[in-house]
């Protein structure tokens, strides 16, 4: 059963993401473009929220094993992620691939595949992969220990917001050890 309102929200979010991309090149020169760009920033978090809602709604009566769930979901997301990451990697490094031994770039490809940095737009797929890993566990917890899960998620969110705030005001300053790349 499809929920029309969810589809309407997805369409609205899609237009908002387009607005983000269209205005991105003008935010330094035009205050209206900057304002529109910032107003449309709700779209990606809402897409993630809608994806989680749709996933929970579609899986609510299924009794799927964890591995079957992952197999079904990852077949739809991992192949496109790897394919596009490799395409973007080849395009971004085309001059080095031609001028040097291509195998020298292999560790960089592996690092980019692992970290989701082959291209900036692929971060959404990395987020979805992470959420697919967590979803079955959260679903089980919500069914078995609803109250504990909700209270725990509240305190985790509270701590994360507090940490972000403390970082913004300069109380928490992350450091980068010397041996990190």
Question: What are the backbone dihedrals phi and psi of residue 25, each rounded to the nearest 5 degrees, phi first?
Answer: -75, -10
What average pLDDT does range 122-145 have in this prediction? 86
Torsion of CA 139, 142, 148, 149, to 10 degrees: 40
100/96 Cα distance (integer angstroms): 6
pLDDT band with cut points at 50, 70 and 90 for residue 178: low
Tokens coding 61: 């009566």
Quote the pLDDT of residue 177.
Answer: 56
| For residue 11, pLDDT beyond 90 | yes
What average pLDDT does range 21-36 have in this prediction? 93
121/102 Cα distance (integer angstroms): 24
Tokens coding 18: 């387009």
Task: For the chain, state the CA radius of gyration.
Answer: 20
pLDDT tens-digit profile of 108-130?
A: 888 888 888 888 888 888 888 88
Is 127 exposed, middle or buried (CB count within 10 Å of its CB: 0-12, 13-18, 19+)?
A: middle
pTM of whole model > 0.85? no
Quote the pLDDT of residue 179.
Answer: 56
């Amino acid at each position: 059963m499809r929920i029309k309102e969810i589809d309407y929200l997805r369409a609205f979010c899609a237009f908002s993401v387009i607005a983000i991309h269209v205005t991105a090149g003008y935010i330094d020169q035009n205050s209206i473009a900057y304002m529109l760009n910032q107003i449309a920033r709700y779209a990606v978090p809402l897409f993630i929220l809608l994806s989680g809602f749709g996933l929970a709604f579609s899986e609510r009566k299924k009794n799927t094993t964890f591995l079957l769930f992952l197999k079904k979901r990852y077949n739809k997301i991992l192949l496109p992620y790897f394919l596009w990451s490799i395409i973007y990697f080849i395009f971004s490094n085309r001059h080095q691939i031609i001028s040097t031994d291509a195998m020298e770039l292999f560790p960089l490809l592996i690092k980019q595949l692992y970290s989701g940095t082959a291209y900036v737009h692929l971060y959404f797929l990395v987020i979805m992969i992470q959420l697919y890993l967590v979803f079955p566990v959260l679903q089980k917890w919500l069914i078995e220990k609803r109250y504990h899960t909700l209270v725990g998620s509240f305190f985790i969110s509270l701590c994360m917001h507090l940490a972000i705030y403390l970082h913004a005001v300069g109380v928490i300053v992350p450091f980068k050890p010397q041996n990190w790349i």
